[in-house]
Structure 1
Amino acid sequence: MLLQVDNVTLARRGEQVDGTLHLTPHHLIFSHTPPISPEDSIKGVVIRPKELWITYPIIAFCTLRPAPAASRQLSSIRLRCRDFTFVCFYFVNEHKARDVFESIKQWTCKSGRIDKLYAFSYQPPPPEKEFNGWELYDPRKEWARQGCLEEGKAWRLSEINFSPTYPALIPVPSSISDNTLNYAGRYRSRARIPALTYFHPVNNCTITRSSQPLVGVRQHRSIQDEKLLSAIFMTSRTERPLASFSTPEKDADNSSPETSQVMVPELNNAEELEDDLLAAGSGGIEEQSSIYGAQQSNLIVDARPTVNAFAMQAVGLGSENMDNYKFATKAYLGIDNIHVMRDSLNKVIDTLKESDVTPLGPNRDQLARSGWLKHIGGILDGARLITRQVGLTHSHVLIHCSDGWDRTSQLSALSQICLDPYFRTLEGFMVLVEKDWLSFGHMFRHRSGHLNCEKWFQIENERIGGDPNRAFGDGGGAGKAIENAFLSAKGFFNRDNTSRNSLPDSDGELQNYESDTPPEKPTAPRSGVSEKEVTKPKETSPVFHQFLDATYQLLHQYPTRFEFNERFLRRLLYHLYSCQFGTFLFNNEKERVDCKASERTRSVWDYFLARREQFTNPQYDPVIDDHQRGKERLIFPRVNETRWWNEVFGRTDAEMNGPRPSGAPRDNSQSPVLTGIETAGSNNTVKSTAASGVSAVTSGVSKLAFPAERTEQPTEVGVEMQ
């Protein structure tokens, strides 16, 4: 295995430099000494070597191009990195090029275990040692800050974890017992019950999140799930708590599993309980006067396209039958799943991928056809809807998609940024990521592809087929959704789908179309991680990248309302893939605890807190005054101003967004946020804005943006070393 190769040429953006390539167990390092100018030579200036550091997990694709026989061309290795760095190394000796290729492949793919990654051997510099980012987020402290646990509030903390993918502490309505939560969990995929994630301190309304219900083609229901959601939506009122509602025979909280587990109970008392709950939700029970809630229009947000949600009924899943949730309205947002998002980003990469060998800018028409800005706009539009419901109409919102850890996290976190100025501070944003992404079980290990995949290493003249990242296709269209759902039905019904304490077996290929992750096979744990793992390309997706991109849109639109700057978001995206810190290596809170991540690795927040001045926005104005324009508590995304985050793609603003024509009018048209509205009595039919049932949430997003002047060149490549 080669450790050093001399006489290597690095090509990037059409420029070339000669230097030395070093291969270490965790990094690929290219060093070169810039030529000294005559003036500097006379002055005796010492020119220090410059280095480019590339950590192996950040490599998204590696191609060896051997030199053709009897040709003067050089053998080369082209790298595409997940931080959108594109480089090419040229070698005078083909044998050395092959050795380097095999070395990179081995160090990237052969670890097979999370605890072999760089984070477990990383030694922080002295400034980082002064911080402990693992202690930054304290759930009890955050819930106390929001005010939901104050005396007289309708919430309590439950320490009984019903789902291994959920946080250990979950606020639940005081009127709901753990027994009811236990049975309600059997009606939600992965037992991810409706759980509180945000409590509005002004109007006491909430954002809760969950996974999809197990409705199925037979329209199954759960009285416990309906009771839980009704209790959540009643917490901002001052009326008699739902715990006091009981049937003539016994309280449903203490009923037996046979009568309350899931589906339609046969006993009359369950039907009477339902009537009481629905009457309470509709105001049928006498209420005391209250300040907030008079304009309530409580909402269940299903992030999926309507056709995807209904197709999932074929495999026992689906979406709420609103005849059983008459205390709320349901909205479908039409946000596509992880496979469509991955394909969209790949189309952007196809436009940028030649940047290692040419200085030419990307084709902006091709960028537009990727659909990336449409997807970002759709997510922002959904966050705008949720922000309006909670912040202006004083209503409660439940958010879910399929499993409740991808699109749900995006919508929940972005809505809280719009609602709460605290989450627009540096510390608050870190707390938000810890709470809504890390604690609530976004699958960072699977989505980010930390353990890489041998399919991403190819020798050009030995390739068979196309890019494995593109194998899933566009995944769009009603026919495609239904086809995939029915094809996966056999695999679904042939396994034990308790959706409770374990993830059922799956080969990772035959999967529910709308299931964001194929279940993994259980393996014997070793310090909290499996013995041997590889990344499955179809499980990867830029979900967290999209969240950071959407946050960038808000930062660009409201530059004085955020304490952190654009560079903070860009470096956070880099460290999502660098594997230098333990924060983003695991799929949920339980995995981090089992692996003792806080003891064996450093938190990514140490990096930022030790360099706080580099990531602080000088335009930040912390004053909040709802009576002064521009200083209000709430902010709302302006979807029509969605633009390319050019810095993260290593391009100039003009290259990706283009100049704004002088005097060009601003597009004030509003794109539709909903692909369907469903209420009680609608007989499960959805009024869709598109004949096929699939509607683009942000059709017509303008390619023209309102760019700010570029203040920083994208020179950050690889790991910043201190």
Structure 2
Amino acid sequence: MTELPLAMRSSLVKGRKHSHNRNDATPSSEQTVPGCSCRSVSWMKSKSQRHVSRTEQQHELAANTRWGLTVWRIQVDNVTLHKKNNSITGTLHVATHHLIFAHYPPASADSPAPAKGRAKEIWITYPMIAYCVYRPMPAILRQDHAIRIRCRDFTFMAFHFSDEAQARGVYDSIKALTCGLGSFNKLYAFNYKSPEIEKAVNGWQIYDARKEYKRMGISPKGADRGWRLSNINSDYTYSPTYPALLVVPSSVSDNVLKHGKEYRSRYRIPALTYLHPVNNCSITRSSQPKCGMFQDKRNPQDERLVAAIFSTSRPVSGAGMPLLDADGQLFDPDMQQGTGSAESTPTSTESTSRQSSDKIYGAQQRNFIVDARPQVNAVANQASGMGSENMEFYKDATKEYLGIANIHSMRESLNKVFEAFAHTDYTDIGPNQDLLTKSKWLEYISLVLRGSSLVARQVGINHSHVLIHCSDGWDRTSQISALSQLCLDPYYRTLEGFIVLVEKDWVSFGHMFRHRSGYLSSDKWFEIENERVGGNRKADNSAAFGSKSGSGNAFENVLSSARGFFSKKNDSKESVDVNDVGDGAPAIPAPTSKSAKHTVTNVKETSPIFHQFLDATYQMLRQHPNRFEFNERFLRRLFYHLYSCQYGTFLWDSERDRVQEHAYDRTKSVWDYFLSRREMWLNEQYDPTVDDKVPGKERIILPDTTKVKWWHELFGRTDLEMNGTAHAPTASLPKEPRDPIVTGIETSEVSIGPAANGSSFAGQGASAFTNGAARLTAGLGSLSLGKTSSSAPASRAQSPQTKESLPPRTIDEKMVSAATNNEPDATNGRLSFSAFARDNAFRDT
């Protein structure tokens, strides 16, 4: 560790502990701060020194003053802060868990002398720092030395020092306290002491899985709705990343579950997350299956589980069934209108009665498996033994691919958004609209919303069951699952309901918060200008954030990763995804001892997945301002606490880790903060009335993806700066999507989607997966497989189309006719997927 200069060590002072919720108390009486060789000093109470913080986020500070604590504080006077073209001189404190800048308001015209009664403060928790640059200046230039900081909440600032030793000492201390901790146990959450206002609330108890499933109508003592509670994972040995309580079909025994788990990546079997209260249709979630290179691997227990899920619905009496037109086709008034809102159903009594008279009840249920990945990614994953369901064995369902990019694309997108705000620590100019456009951030948000809307339509309007998965079922799956439930259930749009939704689909079902958020930071996120010799700084900076340039050829990337897969022992069991060796899925940590030893952030595993979920929720709140009990400020503050590490809610990757590392005893829940200040987060426009017969008050709401906007409050900008006006929108707003949300469709009879080699859309009698496997086989044929490696059977080297185990599929002529609009395609008679998606119920409007 770097030792502080003598000038810095001499500035350790005794003083008061700031009255602030983010206090820097440590439990021990004497500690050594990483990067410092000196000891801490005791802080004694001094009433004359007490004052409060200035920011709106610190209303809880009144009851949070604690004195007589031993904390670190390095004080540097006469530091100039630059932020948005403003500069002010004050005192910088480098404390144990925060960087604190204190200053007095400048003198006004009426009062020439500055007021000394109350200082204003800016607090920065170290995990919030996304990038830090130290810029030393040659003495001959007589300019200040600067430390520029970029925060994850899009705050940009620069600190200027006249003394180089002080500047370098502060930089080294910030780096040591940010990425030099060496243990998650040193994060702020393990030292945070709740103020009195939060002690009356226990946020850890707000989510009770049994209570939530009972709300859905599932309980041991309740009526059998086709589902049961299973304790097969009560000790987390069955599936380490799944919750202890699983809900599965009543017709499936635990013995079936035991034999079916091996077929799913990470043992994340299809399990219920939501049951619709009216039509008994379900949303289940899982990980990808281990179908293998040729999709010839199958598991009867998994097939039985999925079939049981799709046969659980028994519609509630009087709830009605989907309408059919005279030709027996599904009638959806919302989709006929071509809008993105459930409120678009006809309001005229005459129109409604006329439509009803032409329709009949009794629609045949169509069930769906939604793979959130692009189809080609799923094909590529076959190289590592994964992939997607072979629909020959799941005949009661249709599979749809949503085409949502992986975590690496999302991380790169966010980096470009940050670049658009570069230099806003010194200037107040608006963001670079060209870079915002290139980031595709809003396009990705729109894509996630469209996928969620599709699932919500199928469950709430088309009365179908939906099984959702991506690769490992904890990133894109969590997004689509949670957002679709937000569309379907008014309860999740209340403050408590939204908290339960986050706890259930993100915390309990095992989103990798620790890996995706990078709480221990990385030394790659710290830079000293002019210290590098040669090299491409821009490329280095991109690498520092784990970004990847260029998509490349999917199969070339997978072949490259497959060579490594076959040439060496693969202990990590990572999922192979397009453009990267693995989908950012780390090896599952062993219990307590190993999990506590995560010391380095792998930047390639970081990604703003939960951030995107909050952004998508904001879009729905903005479009439906009276349908949510909570306000925008609640979402923005929740985003802050995702990275603040003040609470323990988001510090672990699974329910098992939280239990084994005693999170509930060692840390506080972030919901303590929100529920103890409930009034701050309430939406004044909220109308709790739910009446499906009244337009605008229906149970279901759907986002309009043509109206996706920048979350300007999160960026600290005005709506005009980020989004422009209705008549003059900014260039970075996405245009109306022309492509369908569904990028591929498979049933037991037909496979439609992009060919494995990236050519035009094609309808194929044989599965697109097996065609993709043929290309992979050709590439892998040149690999040198060791005698001890587990090679594929000799039969796999044959062309998949000639394998007797996979009978060729026949294309339903009626489906082909509908897909092509009875017009032959100009490209060798291939099936036009775009026409199929446009003219059938799979479309997203």
Structure 2 length as normaliser, TM-score? Answer: 0.71
Counterpart of 2:280 (choices 204, 217, 221) is 204
Give the distance between the partners of 2:576 and 2:448, measured in 1 at CA: 27
Give the distance between the partners of 2:604 and 2:182, measured in 1 at CA: 18
Q: Does 1:153 align with 2:225?
A: yes
SS at match of 1:571: helix
CA positional deviation for 1:222? 1.0
After superposition, where does 1:254-269 map in structure 2 within 5 Å? Answer: none
The aligned residue for residue 571 of structure 1 is 637
1:139-171, Cα deviation, whole Å (9 max, x unpaired):
000000011333122111111122100000000
Give the distance between the partners of 1:539 and 1:296, measured in 2 at CA: 39
1:276-312, Cα deviation, whole Å (9 max, x unpaired):
xxxxxxxxxxxxxxx9984311000000011111111
The aligned residue for residue 307 of structure 2 is 230
1:520-576, Cα deviation, whole Å (9 max, x unpaired):
3856843x7333521011000000000000000000000000000001000101000
Give the distance between the partners of 1:662 and 1:644, measured in 2 at CA: 15
Specify the code of the residue in structure 2 equivalent to 1:107.
L
1:12-37, Cα deviation, whole Å (9 max, x unpaired):
00110000000111000000001232
After superposition, where does 1:692-707 map in structure 2 within 5 Å? Answer: none
Give the distance between the partners of 1:238 and 1:634, measured in 2 at CA: 17
Give the distance between the partners of 1:25 and 1:512, measured in 2 at CA: 39
Q: Against the structure 1 CA distance between its residues 203 and 610, is the aligned structure 2 distance closer, same or farther, given a 3 Å change threshold?
A: same
By relative contact order (CA 8 Å, sep 6+), the higher-ranking structure is: 1
Q: Against the structure 1 CA distance between its residues 475 and 200, is the aligned structure 2 distance closer, same or farther, given a 3 Å change threshold?
A: farther
Contact kept in structure 1, 2:79 and 2:159, CA below 8 Å: yes
Contact kept in structure 1, 2:442 and 2:709, CA below 8 Å: yes
Contact kept in structure 1, 2:386 and 2:575, CA below 8 Å: no
The aligned residue for residue 700 of structure 1 is none
Counterpart of 2:449 (choices 360, 374, 380) is 380
SS at match of 2:626: coil
Contact kept in structure 2, 1:337 and 1:514, CA below 8 Å: no
Contact kept in structure 1, 2:381 and 2:575, CA below 8 Å: no
Contact kept in structure 2, 1:506 and 1:521, CA below 8 Å: no
The aligned residue for residue 580 of structure 1 is 646
Contact kept in structure 2, 1:306 and 1:693, CA below 8 Å: no
Q: Does 1:638 align with 2:710?
A: no
1:679-719, Cα deviation, whole Å (9 max, x unpaired):
112268657998467999xxxxxxxxxxxxxxxxxxxxxxx
Contact kept in structure 2, 1:309 and 1:319, CA below 8 Å: yes
Q: Does 1:90 align with 2:160?
A: yes
Specify the code of the residue in structure 1 equivalent to 2:530.
N
The aligned residue for residue 256 of structure 2 is 180
The aligned residue for residue 289 of structure 2 is 213
Contact kept in structure 2, 1:75 and 1:94, CA below 8 Å: yes
SS at match of 2:158: strand
Give the distance between the partners of 2:427 and 2:597, measured in 1 at CA: 43
The aligned residue for residue 548 of structure 2 is 473
CA positional deviation for 1:510? 11
The aligned residue for residue 243 of structure 1 is none
Q: Against the structure 1 CA distance between its residues 389 and 670, is the aligned structure 2 distance closer, same or farther, given a 3 Å change threshold?
A: farther
Give the distance between the partners of 2:485 and 2:496, measured in 1 at CA: 14
1:473-506, Cα deviation, whole Å (9 max, x unpaired):
24535x1x22222222244446777xxxxxx437
Q: Against the structure 1 CA distance between its residues 684 and 225, is the aligned structure 2 distance closer, same or farther, given a 3 Å change threshold?
A: farther
Q: Does 1:438 align with 2:515?
A: no
Counterpart of 2:561 (choices 472, 475, 488) is 488
The aligned residue for residue 678 of structure 1 is 746
SS at match of 1:547: helix
The aligned residue for residue 391 of structure 2 is 322
The aligned residue for residue 76 of structure 2 is 5
Q: Does 1:165 align with 2:241?
A: yes
The aligned residue for residue 245 of structure 1 is none
CA positional deviation for 1:237? 3.7
After superposition, where does 1:270-281 map in structure 2 within 5 Å? Answer: none
Contact kept in structure 1, 2:260 and 2:269, CA below 8 Å: yes
Specify the code of the residue in structure 2 equivalent to 1:319.
S
Contact kept in structure 2, 1:331 and 1:675, CA below 8 Å: yes
Give the distance between the partners of 1:210 and 1:494, measured in 2 at CA: 30
SS at match of 1:648: coil
- The structure whose Rg is larger is 2
Specify the code of the residue in structure 1 equivalent to 2:749.
G
Specify the code of the residue in structure 2 equivalent to 1:645.
W
Q: Against the structure 1 CA distance between its residues 651 and 485, is the aligned structure 2 distance closer, same or farther, given a 3 Å change threshold?
A: same
Contact kept in structure 2, 1:300 and 1:398, CA below 8 Å: yes
Q: CA RMSD in A?
A: 2.8
Give the distance between the partners of 2:752 and 2:258, measured in 1 at CA: 27
**Greater shift in the superposed pair: 303-312 or 135-144:** 303-312
Give the distance between the partners of 1:204 and 1:165, measured in 2 at CA: 27
Specify the code of the residue in structure 2 equivalent to 1:60.
A
The aligned residue for residue 586 of structure 2 is 519
Q: Does 1:340 align with 2:409?
A: yes
The aligned residue for residue 711 of structure 1 is none
User: Where does the alignment leave 5 or more consecutive residues of structure 2 unmatched?
Assistant: 9-73, 317-359, 763-832, 835-845
Q: Against the structure 1 CA distance between its residues 16 and 633, is the aligned structure 2 distance closer, same or farther, given a 3 Å change threshold?
A: same
Give the distance between the partners of 1:160 and 1:675, measured in 2 at CA: 36
Contact kept in structure 1, 2:626 and 2:686, CA below 8 Å: yes
The aligned residue for residue 714 of structure 1 is none
Give the distance between the partners of 2:712 and 2:315, measured in 1 at CA: 49
SS at match of 1:196: strand
Q: Does 1:543 align with 2:609?
A: yes
Q: Against the structure 1 CA distance between its residues 575 and 552, is the aligned structure 2 distance closer, same or farther, given a 3 Å change threshold?
A: same
User: Where does the alignment leave 5 or more consecutive residues of structure 1 unmatched?
Assistant: 240-290, 498-503, 697-722
CA positional deviation for 1:9? 0.4
CA positional deviation for 1:373? 0.6
The aligned residue for residue 107 of structure 1 is 177
SS at match of 1:98: helix
SS at match of 2:169: helix
Specify the code of the residue in structure 2 equivalent to 1:19.
G
Contact kept in structure 2, 1:304 and 1:333, CA below 8 Å: yes
Specify the code of the residue in structure 2 equivalent to 1:362.
P
After superposition, where does 1:123-134 map in structure 2 within 5 Å? Answer: 123-134=193-204
SS at match of 1:70: helix
Give the distance between the partners of 2:315 and 2:577, measured in 1 at CA: 49
Among the aligned pairs, what percent are the same residue?
A: 57
Contact kept in structure 2, 1:675 and 1:688, CA below 8 Å: no
Q: Does 1:19 align with 2:85?
A: no
SS at match of 2:424: helix
Specify the code of the residue in structure 1 equivalent to 2:92.
L
Contact kept in structure 2, 1:298 and 1:397, CA below 8 Å: yes
Give the distance between the partners of 2:547 and 2:428, measured in 1 at CA: 31
Specify the code of the residue in structure 1 equivalent to 2:572.
D
Structure 1 length as normaliser, TM-score? Answer: 0.83
Q: Against the structure 1 CA distance between its residues 474 and 548, is the aligned structure 2 distance closer, same or farther, given a 3 Å change threshold?
A: farther
The aligned residue for residue 456 of structure 1 is 525
Specify the code of the residue in structure 2 equivalent to 1:517.
G
Q: Against the structure 1 CA distance between its residues 368 and 152, is the aligned structure 2 distance closer, same or farther, given a 3 Å change threshold?
A: same
SS at match of 2:141: coil
Contact kept in structure 1, 2:104 and 2:115, CA below 8 Å: no
The aligned residue for residue 251 of structure 1 is none
